[in-house]
Structure 1
Amino acid sequence: MIHLVGPVVLAVALIGLGIMGVLTRRHPVMVLIAIELILAGGLVLLVTSGLVGGSRWSGASVLPLFVITIAAAETVVALAIVLTLFRHRRRIDLDDGSEP
């Protein structure tokens, strides 16, 4: 049986860094990296909750695969949007989102 302290501290650190990155950064790629950190922290908590306990929840080994797939698709779509913005404006800044 594993101890809960290590994975929970890791998950909290990943989620905290991700939230700080989303709130403080203005570059879209850095915001995407911060969102991926938040998803990684959630995955650590999901796998930890599945491994700890008497029931050995089987979804803890399958659901991270779906979350990783969704995160990859989200990153591809977001990078396509960022590249399209860069091609039209020649700059990438999240504060200038309302300008044509």
Structure 2
Amino acid sequence: MLCGPGSIANGIMLMNDTNTWTIKGILIGMIALIYFITYLILRNSTRLVSILGKTVNNVMMRLMGLILMVIAVKCFVSELKPILIDIIQSNRM
């Protein structure tokens, strides 16, 4: 989940855009820092859940579900649009 195709493609593009080893080192360091922060958050997630409380966790779960639904609808519509355009154009002929 942390390293999907978008993250890999973004990392490859950023590495190709850099000219010096210093900038590449900074990029690799930032990626390592993000993974370390993510590790700390995931390691302390049980403590974090108890601090936030049940209501905040329920709200966050609903928001994540809403975001996931919006992304799914966007993907569905963007894939359906060319198909519908082809169907409409083939019916005109």
TM-score bin, normalised by smaller chain:
0.3 to 0.5
* TM, length-normalised to structure 2: 0.37
* TM, length-normalised to structure 1: 0.35
- Which structure has more relative contact order (CA 8 Å, sep 6+)? It is 1
Structure number with the higher helix fraction is: 2
